[in-house]
Every structure is written in structure tokens, then in C-alpha cells.
Amino acid sequence: MTANDYGFDTLAIHAGQDPDPRTGAVVPPIYQTSTYAQDAVGAPRLGYEYSRSSNPTRDALQECLAAIEGGRRGLAFASGLSAEDTLLRTVCRPGDHVVIPDDAYGGTFRLFSKVLENWGLDWTAVPLEDLDAVRAAFRPGHTKLIWAETPTNPLLNVADIAALAGLAHEYDALLVVDNTFASPYLQQPISLGADVVVHSTTKYLGGHSDVVGGALVTATDDLGDELAFHQNAMGGVSGPFDAWLTLRGIKTLGVRMDRHCDNAERVVAFLREHPAVASVLYPGIEDHPGHEVAAKQMRRFGGMVSFRAAGGMEQAIAICNRTKLFVLAESLGGVESLIEHPGQMTHLSAAGSALEVPADLVRLSVGIETVDDLLADLEQALG
């Protein structure tokens, strides 16, 4: 099943998920097994030998991921960071260089600065919305890829995917897009020229805060095959039950994202009028510097909202501590609303670096609850 044949919601429900041929089960079975009986030496049944290498439940998820992102190959991992690490150590070598966002997710920054830098991978952080800055950061012959987030985490800046793809390909580099914040329902980077899409499937794809996972989707079979080799060799794969939970979440991705967006728009309108809020960061606001680009490449503007507290860091932390429906927790993209202080939580690893986030910043993952209840909770927390 491909995007050329069916609509998004049909793919989310059916791609890779034909009824079980043996029993007719409509939902793909959980193949909770480590190994498989072989018909003879050198003759594994249906190609299955060992579940690190392949597993039918994970295969179903991987086919679905490729379909909903409009890619050629999907690969499922134990976490978003294991997907990122596998990708970077597949396409890069010691001595290579990568351009990353100057407000990247804290875990991604930590991977570059504390792990892969020791392996010999160099990186430069620039505002990806500034194409001149991106071009200036390139080291011809050494820069292997642009690593993009759009919208970014947590400042919700927007990069022009098609423009970045053109620039990367001009230098024979790859464009990798972390599409976690938008989800495949709101944005499909491969159709805009990206070579690889990255997801923390823990977030909107899983959607219920009950599973940790990651994914890569490639634009070409060749790159997909190379990554699949390293997925097996490095071993950070998704287990069958985790794959099954993620597949279950994907089935309702479209309807959930519409509610996330509806609620986020109401929250943004409320926050913009509140005296305790200095500014609101959301690509759906017309005066947001990335609004026009976001409107061009996204279906809607997502469920993530950040704002800066008028009273500074002390007030930002107090707001986080006072909410009741907005749960104080890391992560995002689940059906329940979450609130966090990025500077002391998800982005603490960037403290003291060029990627340090403002101390007065609050990040909201707006869930799918009754929106009036969410607004009332924010009203009392803002005081």
C-alpha cells in the first residue's frame, strides 16, 4: 500500500496489517519469540531466523511507517535516539561534519556533543531557518548531512524543508528531518526532498504514553538497505510488543492530531491575551517568523506550544508546579496534556552551550481533553 493508492487514514489502519492468513485475525499478532524453527539448514521459514534481524510484528510496523511517510523503507528501533545513532554511524565516518539546528532537542544535542564527537564526528549548530547561515556552515567534502527539526524542540522554529534539501543535494549531502513534532499526518518531508525522516515513535505515533520507540524512513531502497544492515548489526531494534503498541497508536493518528491542533489553537489564543505571558511560540500565529513556510509544508500547525513567562524563570517554574490537568512530565504527543520547564528538564544537557534554552520558557504538549478544562487549568496556574 502506498500514498499513491490510498489516503492517509486508510494507510494508517491497513498498511502492513492484512488479516492474519492462518486465523483471519484482523489485528496483526504479537510474535513474542526470539527465534524461529527452520525447515532445513540454510532454509529459514519465510526468511525468519532471529528476532533481532526480523520479526513479523516489527515488519508490519515498518511497512506502515514507510507508507504513511511516503518513503521506500521503514525501520523501527528501541528509541528515537537509537534510531538517530544508527543513522549517523551508518552514513558518517570519523572526520565527517554535520550541520544541526541551534535549538535541537536536548537528547540529540547530547548525542552529538557527548557521544559522537568522541567518535570523531564534528558538528556546527546554526539557525536552519537562515539558509545563508546553513550554507556558510558547510564544509565541502566533509559535511555529510543537514540534521533538521521543524518545528524545532522547544522553540518551535520552522525550517524550509524543500530549500534545505536543495542546498544539501547541491553539496552531495543528505537532508535528515526529525518529524516527531509534526507527525506524518501534518508533514511529509520526503515529498519535499528529504532523504531520511526520523521519529521518536514514543510521541505522536504511539500517542498514549505507554511505549518507547524510534523510526527511520528512507526515500530510497539503497539507503534503506544500508540502514537495515546496521539496524541488525547494532541491534537497537523495537521489540514485538512495543511494535504492536505503536501500530495500535498509528491507527488513530489522524483523528488525534486534528484534536491536538484544535485544542492547541484555543490554548494559544488564551495565552496570547494573558498578562502573565510575555510571548507565545507557535507556528500557527500569523506573525510567527516561520508561519508562511509552515503553512506551505504542513497540513496544520501541531499540538506543541511554548511560551515565555513574564515573571522570568521563577514564575515559569511556579506555573509548571501549579497545573493539575497538565501533568508535569517530560515527553510529549500523548493523549494527555503535559507541561515542562525545558531548561531544567528535557534540555538540561544543553545548559551552558550555544543551544541553551531561555530560563523563562514553558513547553506544553496539548492533549485531547475537553479544551475548556485545559484553559481553566492554565488560568489557575498562571495566577
Residues tagged active-site? 52, 105, 178, 203
Give the Cα separation of 87 and 79 in Å (integer).
13
- C-alpha 152, offset from chain centre: 10
Confirm if 333 and 204 have CB atoms less than 8 A apart: yes
Give the Cα separation of 176 and 187 in Å (integer).
14
Q: Is the sign of the CA dihedral 36, 37, 39, 41 positive or negative?
A: positive
Sheet containing strand 196-200, edge to edge, reads: 73-77, 214-218, 196-200, 174-178, 143-149, 97-101, 122-126
- C-alpha 224, offset from chain centre: 18
Cell, residue 190: 520526503
Residue in 165, 87, 167, 110 with CA at minimum distance from that of residue 133: 167
Per DSSP bridges, beta strands 338-340 and 361-365 are antiparallel
